[in-house]
Structure 1
């Protein structure tokens, strides 16, 4: 098999987890806005390139050899920051086989705690989610135009090493906000990586909720993390009296339970189907503080 080349627009937390999970003859290139982040990308197995919204010759050359394209950059009011400068170049990529776009379950909006799936009507509430819906449509449209599968991965709350309630408890920032009947889904970064690789291997397009099996109240996660650490959890804070940023408060304005059957039908089996399995692993392995130094995930 010829070498696969994956190009990631926006090599952040999820992109680095994806690169660490690669196997076989695969080259991974990825963009960042800062040269200061080059070392962290290289440590994750990503050949770094600068991207500040303009399509450089170096990026164009890399795209010409790319077989799989992953987009992990949020849309802006002016439109998708990748499609705007690079749509024509992407449409002409000679080796391109597949496109993956990392979106969010926020596109569904508020369903009052009811279950939603990929066929549920999107009713985005926030401006950022409205822009996500528009970006999803543009990427799917491009896929139809060029005859390539486009997978839309709608992600729930992302966590993993270096980004979790254990870290928050240690540094004193953990809070147990309580809003009656509020639940959230979550997804460990290794399961984002695993789902991406599963879809790449299967050359599958479509819309997939990439989220755990168990939507749960956020305060329960903090309580469980505290029990692993053998400490008392912070006191409960009623949501109505909590001091929150407008963005943080907006997250609590959406309540839904997100089903994940489609990605399972595509063949993926979650490494961490619920937060307890993930926290048990992170605590036992000791990798909860920092994800950069981890060994690659075994698949």
Structure 2
């Protein structure tokens, strides 16, 4: 029987875990783990845990020269404007790999790579529609770290001949990962005439897109993994409140928000954009299970 190709997962959180059963049918899956309980759970599912921590390069020796497809979803650290974790991961993978000519690279079987980035790299667009051809103009340090990771991965892919797909994800939601805590705290939202546009994707749809990108992603291609219906941020919180049987948040002016809301929340409110997803549907051929947040909430009832 033909051996399964290898796949390395760096960052097996909620979304990638949803994709794991599908991936295990098609790959010999290796997963970076930092905790023994996580390793035991993944081993029971059929994956091969590798105890390693991207914040501690000495633990990454087992990745040296590993020839495998890659799913990278480890978020950058919370400091600085460069993604040191991605740099350490790529350095470990490239260690002890001899330099090869173009003909040797082309002769190798395809080992695709998928990176889960963020739509935050677009920055504020004042509500305009954007697609993947729109330039990256990150406004926050967290988005600049993601943009730096994308650049690092592009350079690595060009050097190694790897097909790389970059999936830019917006706010991810699912049952059990809704912003109910913020509503329960009584945090207000911006009144409609001043509100920002936001984009969403269900965790299952993002997991599905990751799987398809391994096989259908075009080299060095970026994909907006968003649903069909951007919404005003306040409307999103109203939807969550209604579904959770909580009072809708109070509405305030943007000027009042500068005093009443935290800098972290304000940084999200200062970014307004609507994202197109034609490339997701046409090239990856993703059929969204939840094309709108309204369709998801309707299913709950």
Compute the TM-score of the two structures, normalised by the length of structure 2.
0.80
Is contact 1:104–1:153 with CA below 8 Å preserved after alignment?
A: yes
Is contact 2:199–2:229 with CA below 8 Å preserved after alignment?
A: yes
Counterpart position of 2:196: 182
Q: 1:13 to 1:178 in 2, by over 3 A?
A: same
SS in 2 for 1:144: helix
Q: 1:55 to 1:194 in 2, by over 3 A?
A: farther
Q: 1:189 to 1:223 in 2, by over 3 A?
A: same
Counterpart position of 1:140: 154
Is contact 2:195–2:233 with CA below 8 Å preserved after alignment?
A: no
The 1-side partners of 2:185 and 2:42 are apart by 27
Counterpart position of 2:251: 236
- Number of residue pairs the alignment of both structures matches: 279
Is contact 1:175–1:219 with CA below 8 Å preserved after alignment?
A: no
The reply on whether 1:84 has 2:84 as its aligned counterpart is no
The 2-side partners of 1:215 and 1:85 are apart by 34
The 1-side partners of 2:34 and 2:24 are apart by 27
Q: 1:238-281 CA distances to partner (integer Å, 9 max, x unpaired)? A: 44434333222111111111111111111112111111122233
SS in 2 for 1:31: strand
The 2-side partners of 1:183 and 1:136 are apart by 24
SS in 2 for 1:82: helix
Once the two structures are TM-superposed, the CA of residue 73 in structure 1 deviates from its matched residue by 1.6
Counterpart position of 2:102: none
Equivalent residue for 1:256, pick from 258, 273, 291: 273
Q: 1:2 to 1:204 in 2, by over 3 A?
A: farther
The reply on whether 1:158 has 2:180 as its aligned counterpart is no
SS in 2 for 1:64: coil
Is contact 1:136–1:152 with CA below 8 Å preserved after alignment?
A: yes
Counterpart position of 2:63: 60
Q: 1:275 to 1:71 in 2, by over 3 A?
A: same
Is contact 1:74–1:80 with CA below 8 Å preserved after alignment?
A: no
What CA RMSD, in Å, does the superposition of the two structures yield over aligned residues?
2.9
The 2-side partners of 1:161 and 1:129 are apart by 26
The 2-side partners of 1:208 and 1:60 are apart by 28
Is contact 2:63–2:92 with CA below 8 Å preserved after alignment?
A: no
The 1-side partners of 2:41 and 2:241 are apart by 30
The 2-side partners of 1:42 and 1:272 are apart by 31
Higher relative CO (Cα under 8 Å, sequence separation at least 6) belongs to 1
SS in 2 for 1:254: coil
Compute the TM-score of the two structures, normalised by the length of structure 1.
0.80
The 2-side partners of 1:82 and 1:135 are apart by 6
Equivalent residue for 1:219, pick from 216, 224, 234: 234
The reply on whether 1:4 has 2:8 as its aligned counterpart is no
Pair member with larger Rg: 2
Q: 1:169-221 CA distances to partner (integer Å, 9 max, x unpaired)? A: 8x824745125231100111111111111111225331111111111012222
